Amino acid sequence: MKTINKLKNLLFIFLLFGTASVIAQDADYNYTFEGQVKWMLLTDTGTLLASTGEALVGIKPN
């Protein structure tokens, strides 16, 4: 009887995580850069700095 309960609980956990992964969130913002991004840095204020070969870009989320 304990084995059946353990199997039911294990199945429930797998189903719970399986449905959670299907309902993954999409990105809030999409940004396109000309060229390849060389490096990115997240500042203390929440601004994302990205450097390409041509420019330094600051992305401030809302």
Overall size of the chain counted in residues: 62
Residue 43: partners with Cβ closer than 8 Å, 6 or more residues away: 49
The pLDDT tens digits of the residues spanning 46-62 come to: 888 888 888 888 877 66
The values of phi and psi at residue 59, to 5°, are -115, 115
Rounded mean pLDDT, 31-55: 86
* Burial status of residue 51 (CB atoms within 10 A of its CB: 0-12, 13-18, 19 or more): middle
Does this model's pTM top 0.85? My answer is no
